[in-house]
Amino acid sequence: MTIVDIGLPRRLIEFTVDGEQITVPEGATILSACKDIPTLCYGDTLEPANACRVCMVEVEGSRTLVPSCSRKVEPGMVVRTDTERTRHSRRMVLELLGSATDLSTTPRVSEWMAEVGADPSRFGPDAATVSQPALVDNPLYVRDYSKCILCYKCVDACGDQWQNSFAIAVAGRGFDAHISTEFSAPLPDSACVYCGNCIEVCPTGALSFRREFDKRADGTWDESAQTATTTVCTFCGVGCNLTLHVQDNEIVKVTSPHDSTVTHGNLCIKGRFGWQHVQNT
Amino acid sequence: MGRRKREPYVRLTQPLVRDSGVLRPASWDEALDRAAEGFRRNVEAGGPNAFGMFSCARATNEMNYVAQKFARAVIGTNNVDSCNRTCHAPSVAGLAKVFGSGGGTSSYQEIEDADLIVLWGSNAREAHPIFFQHVLKAVHRGARLYVVDPRQTSTAKWAHRWLRLTVGTDIPLANAIAREIIHSGLANRSFIERGTEGFEEYAASVEEWTLPVAEQVTGVPADLIRELAHAYARADRAQMSWTLGITEHHNGTDNVLSLINLSLLTGQVGRYGAGLNPLRGQNNVQGGGDMGAIPDRLPGFQDVEDPEARAAFDAAWGSQIPPYKGWNLTQMLEAMERGDMTTVYVIGENPAQSEADCEHTIKRMSNLDHVVVQDIFLTKTAQLAHVVLPATAAWCETDGTFTNSERRVQRVRKAVAPPDGARDDIELLCELARRLGHDWRYDSAEQVWDEMRALSPMHRGMSYARLADLGGIQWPCPSEESLEPTYLHARLWEADPVRRGRPAPFSVLRHSPPVDELSAEFPLRLTTGRRLDSYNTGVQSGGFSSPLRRGETLDLCPEDALDLGVVEDELVQVSSRRGAVVAPVRIDEGLRPGLAFMTFHFPDEVDVNQITIEATDPVAGTAEYKAAAIRVDKLPAVR
């Protein structure tokens, strides 16, 4: 008997974005149908978390703004992505995030702040922050929670959406909410299996390879000097795609293409971290 | 025999040659001249079959193509094989026997879309973690997962049902499942009549395996056997996947056939979502075989005994390929012992540590007149060589392709420059070919690939451009204009007998328990496997620092540890009929009394393959790594 529903072909539906008619497959979200709406918590391999509120847009007839990352397109829907209301909302959200969190390694965020005139410093020097020392408790990767915006992507990647290791979850309430292992144990004493799939989805650099962390600390991390080349892992026969980030002929980081049908951006410890042997000269 | 902590291997950057018994640095010209001269000398003295090629299941398809071409066109022998022999050769042999081609039948997406998944002798959670993510996708969508394994592995912990069978009783279990399916009227009559042959004999042969008999032999409760039989037969789309728990036995090919039988009985093959999938252990073990780096097949899995196939290659290569199968790796090792094989060319393999009963392998290799090893490290095997050629790491220092477990050919790209002094494998093969009178030159991996796909119909439609655009292509792909379905053997369901082709035969199989019998002296069953953060002989995975790594341990269940009077971390002696090693004890609740477990990831510290048995599968030549008889002794107290 059939248990698993493998679905039927999807219809196409039409809607309007900023005055333009667009056709998308049924089930598509507003974000996926539009180009370049800013977002931090949306992950192309994850279910929408609806956490960051950076991607809010106006939908005609809706009392409130809607998160474009999770709101599905309906036939005839009229969407506006760039109005005074969306800009005001985005400005406020980016200011709040920027005042509490270190966004210095978050790609594109300064561009978005400039676009809407966000000024995180306007809450004054005494505004609460999540500033704290980075956790360096293993040789493979670092958790710097002063950069964490609580988007939950790492929790989802570690949990039932991909890795199913459940090594981390959200602990605490309100402003004290934070990502933690069980009983705040160091990673080597946790359920972590070092797949690094949390690093793959982290939007702010709160989670990073130890190599990247060290190179940033000593000022030698230079993304403009890096190449990214996609090849295939050799540690078993599954055939995971690896993108090797190379600086000065040294592998400094490994990611996996999110559109790979083999990995969907996920790797195991060997694929993510097991390259050192080729560099032992 | 103490435990040594090994420093990570460092890259080879200078050719080495052996003088007066010692390896010394040499120039490239000297090393290559000497390598070629040794091959010529031995082939002149002993004929082409004095030569053996150990090709590399981890190198690119392109390298494997050129390596087998070297053996066949330059030397004139089919003696070419790779470490697929130590793992999945039985899967290839079994699938090829029944279906005519030796690949897994489904795609990973079909795993996600299956209603029922059986993982038999597979700890995919640790050995194939990203494949297991596809399995878990299916589980979260409602699919049922059955795991058949002697150990309660981290994979078994995810199963809806775990069938804990006794090591080496896979055929009784499969036959009992078959009998239950037949007797419950759940056999797929229309598929059996249409797409198979030999059903009556098969049905008669499984008749003895009633549920109570099977329970007694396999240790799996009759209820569970019945449940799996009914679930597998009734599922709309069932996937059967296996790993080395099936193949690394003295009758590995029979084990594979016993699982294939179940798919034929129920029609769980040749349709979207239903299939048979061996999970391959090396990145390109599928591709190495596809490229003809095996003794009985030419590139494109074409039979070396087929005169038409040979003629096409002879015309393209200007060669005279011998019209008979070469020796496989196991037979080559035997030929070395007899003195029939006197020279080998080892590319990226480490048989001195990866073969079962490896002391024996080292002795045999020491018999050889001329050993050339091409590798990125000075492995144990390279230390036995007469000439060592420093190579590049295929996956990040060369261009080419690999073929994965779902038959997907994917592009491999050069991301870093190799260390100074290391040279590309294909370039080295050409250097040697030129020294032996064949003017080979390839400007790029793509040129090799295009030569290969002109000769291999199943790869013909896979241009590099297309592979890049489509994120890889599954074989077969005969045309650049189209793509085939993601699953194989749909022909078996065709109504027209001509389109259906050769029916898939059922196989009559006998139970044959492990060769290494348990006795009063060796009362424990040792089985081997992988751990998440390590890989094979550890030469490469030892290069990074893993917080999970514990080193080698002897895993015992709490009851056995208590009986032996040993505790966690205590060093003990582990002996078999072939040798002994010392290892620390680890307690694993997932084992049961009488069953012990070790990896083989740390051979420089604890050489587990000194105690494994070399009893090999007669069809495929794979050794019974999964079932040795051992005893465990406390070490004398040290004052």
**In which domain, by residue range, is B589 found?**
524-634
A85 and A192 assigned to the same domain: no
B291 domain-assigned: yes
Q: Does B475 touch chain A (CB under 8 A)?
A: no
Short-list A207, A213, A209, CA closest to A143: A207
If asked whether residues A183 and A242 sit together in one domain, one would say yes
Instruction: State how far residue A171 is from chain B, nearest Cα, in angstroms.
Output: 24
pLDDT per position as a tens digit, B523-580:
999 998 888 877 777 777 777 888 888 889 999 999 999 999 999 999 999 999 988 9
Q: Is the pLDDT of residue A238 over 60?
A: yes
Average pLDDT of span A141-162 = 97
Size of interface A-B (CB pairs under 8 A): 203
Residue B1 pLDDT grade (very low, low, confident, very high; cuts 50, 70, 90) = very low
Do A81 and A164 lie in one domain? The reply is: no
Same domain (yes/no): B64, B103: no
- B416, B425, B473, B532: best mutation site toward chain A, by most A Cβ within 10 Å? B416
Tell me how long chain A is.
Answer: 281
pLDDT tens digits for B28-83? Answer: 999 999 999 999 999 999 999 999 999 988 899 999 999 999 999 999 999 999 87
- Give me the percent of chain A exceeding a pLDDT of 70: 98
Which residues numbered 309-368 in B keep a CB inside 8 Å of some CB on A? Answer: none
B412 and B294 within one domain: yes
User: B114 with B54, same domain?
Assistant: no
Instruction: Tell me: do B220 and B302 sit in the same domain.
Output: no
Which CATH number goes with the domain that contains A211? 2.20.25.90
Whether residue B319 sits in one domain with residue B256: no
- Neighbour tally for B49: CB within 10 Å: 21
The reply to whether B534 and B432 lie within a common domain is: no
The CATH number for A80's domain is: 3.10.20.740
| pLDDT on residue B616 | 73
Query: What's the pLDDT tens digit per position in B190-206?
Result: 999 999 999 999 999 99
Query: How far A30 CA sits from the closest chain B CA (Å)?
Result: 25
* Cβ–Cβ contact A64 with B under 8 A: no
Residue A3 lies in a domain: no
Interface of B with A in 536-595 (CB under 8 A): 539-548
pTM of the model: 0.92
- pLDDT band at residue B356, thresholds of 50, 70 and 90? low
Domain contains B511: no
Tell whether A6 is covered by a domain: no
Do both A24 and A79 map to the same domain? yes
H helical segments located in chain A: 30-33, 84-100, 109-116, 153-158, 197-201, 210-217, 269-273
Q: Do A140 and B58 touch (CB under 8 A)?
A: no
| pLDDT-derived band at B614, boundaries 50, 70, 90 | confident
Residue pLDDT, tens place only, B82-123: 876 666 788 988 999 999 888 899 999 999 999 999 999 999
Scanning A40-59 for CB atoms below 8 A from B yields: none
- Looking at beta carbons, which residues of chain B come within 8 Å of A242? 395
Residue B460 three-state SS: coil
Q: Which two tokens stand for residue B68?
A: 């087998």
Interface probe, candidates B10, B63, B108, B133, chain A, greatest A C-beta count within 10 A: B133
B274 - beta bridge partners?
A: B271
- CA-based Rg of chain B, rounded to a whole angstrom? 24
**Alpha-carbon distance B388 to B537, whole Å?**
19
Which of A76, A98, A129 represents a domain boundary (last residue)? A129
Q: Is residue B2 part of a domain?
A: no
Q: Which of residues 129-168 of A touch B (CB under 8 A)?
A: 138-140, 160, 162-164
d(CA B164, CA B161): 9
Question: Is A74 among the domain residues?
Answer: yes
Which of B443, B458, B474 is where one domain is finished?
B474
B321: in domain: yes
Same domain, B26 and B103: no
Asked if A121 contacts A111 with a C-beta cutoff of 8 angstroms, the reply is no
Q: A43 and A124: one domain?
A: yes
- Phi and psi, residue B441, nearest 5°: -145, 130
Each residue's pLDDT tens digit, B364-413:
999 899 999 999 999 889 999 999 999 998 889 999 999 999 999 999 99
Q: Alpha carbon of A128 to those of A72, A175, B154: distances in Å?
A: 35, 9, 43
Q: pLDDT digits over B585-612, tens only?
A: 999 999 999 999 998 777 777 888 787 7
Please check whether residues A125 and A147 belong to one and the same domain. Answer: no
Instruction: Supply φ then ψ for residue B12, to 5 degrees.
Output: -80, 135
The alpha-carbon gap from A236 to the nearest alpha carbon of chain B, in Å, equals 4
What is the per-residue pLDDT across B485-517, written as a single tens digit (0 to 9) for each? 999 999 999 999 999 999 999 999 999 999 999
Report, as an integer, the average pLDDT of B614-623.
72
Lowest mean pLDDT among B14-23, B277-286, B505-514: B277-286
Question: Looking at beta carbons, which residues of chain B come within 8 Å of A187?
Answer: 547
For residue B420, give the H/E element and its range.
none
- Do A158 and A271 reside in the same domain of the chain? yes
* B493 within domain boundaries: no
Residue B487 in any domain: the answer is: no
DSSP B310: H
Which of A163, A188, A280 faces B8 most closely, judged by CB atoms? A280
| Mean pLDDT value across residues A11-15 | 93
Which of B253, B279, B305 is the C-terminal boundary of a domain? B279
With 60 as the cut, is the pLDDT of residue A260 above it?
yes
A148 and A174 in a single domain? The answer is yes
Please give the tally of structural domains in chain B: 3
CB A231 to CB B413 under 8 A? yes
My answer on whether A119 and A150 are in the same domain is no
Q: What is the mean pLDDT of chain B?
A: 92
Do residues A206 and A89 share a domain? no
Angle (CA) A32 A37 A39, round 5° = 95
B43 CA: distance to closest CA in chain A (Å): 34
Q: What is the tally of structural domains in chain A? A: 2
Q: Where a domain ends, among A105, A129, A153?
A: A129
- Asked if the bond preceding B547 is cis, omega within 30° of 0, the reply is no
Q: What is the pLDDT of residue B85?
A: 66
Given A194, A237, A280, which is nearest B10 (Cβ)? A280
Q: What is the pLDDT of residue B4?
A: 46
Can you say whether the dihedral through the CA atoms of B242, B244, B245, B249 is positive or negative?
positive
Q: CA-CA distances (angstroms) from residue B252 to A98, A114, B351, B610?
A: 61, 65, 20, 21
For residue A248, the chain B residues in CB contact (below 8 A) are none
**pLDDT score recorded for residue B3:** 41
Write out residues 177-216 of A within 8 Å (CB-CB) of B. Answer: 187-188, 193-195
Mark whether A36 and A106 lie in a shared domain. Answer: yes
Query: Are residues A28 and A104 part of one domain?
Result: yes
Helix (H) or strand (E) holding B408: strand B408-412
Of B474, B490, B505, which residue constitutes the final position of a domain? B474
Which domain CATH number covers B587? Answer: 2.40.40.20
pLDDT at B2 over 60: no
- Given this model, what pLDDT does residue B322 score? 97
Same domain for B320 and B434, yes or no, is yes
B114 touches chain A (CB under 8 A): yes
CATH code assigned at B105: 3.40.228.10
In a domain, A28, yes or no: yes
Give me the residue from B133, B404, B543 closest to A266, CB to CB. Answer: B133
Average pLDDT over residues B146-174: 96
Which of A75, A100, A129 is the last residue in one of the domains? Answer: A129
Starting at the edge strand that comes first in sequence, how are the strands of the sheet with A241-247 ordered?
A: A226-232, A241-247, A250-255
| The pLDDT of residue B35 | 97
Residue A5 covered by a domain: no
Look at residue A2 in the predicted model and tell me its pLDDT: 65
> Same structural domain for residues B365 and B400?
yes
By CB atoms closer than 10 A (0-12, 13-18, 19+), residue B508 is middle
pLDDT score, position A1: 56
Percentage above 90 pLDDT, chain B:
79
Residue B304 counted as domain residue? yes
CB distance A263 to A257 below 8 Å:
yes
The range of the structural domain enclosing residue A72 comes to: 12-129
Give me the torsion for CA of A222, A223, A227, A229, rounded to 10°.
130
Cα of A242 to nearest chain B Cα, Å: 9
Is residue B11 less than 8 Å (CB to CB) from chain A?
Answer: yes
Say yes or no for a CB contact (<8 Å) between B410 and A3.
no
- Pair B116, B21 in one domain: no
Residues B11, A278: C-beta atoms closer than 8 Å = yes
CA dihedral B623, B625, B629, B633 (to 10 degrees): 140
Cβ pair B54, B82 in contact under 8 A: yes
Indicate whether B539 belongs to any domain.
Answer: yes
b vs e for A23-57, b when ≥16 Cβ sit within 10 Å of the residue's Cβ? ebeeebbbbbbbeebbbbbbbebbebbebbbbbbb
Give the chain B residue nearest A250 (alpha carbons).
B416
Residues B259 and B288 in one domain: no
Residue A162 lies in a domain: yes
B461 in the same domain as B365:
yes
Residue B419 has pLDDT above 50, yes or no: yes
Neighbours of B433 (CB within 10 A): 20
pLDDT recorded at residue B248: 86
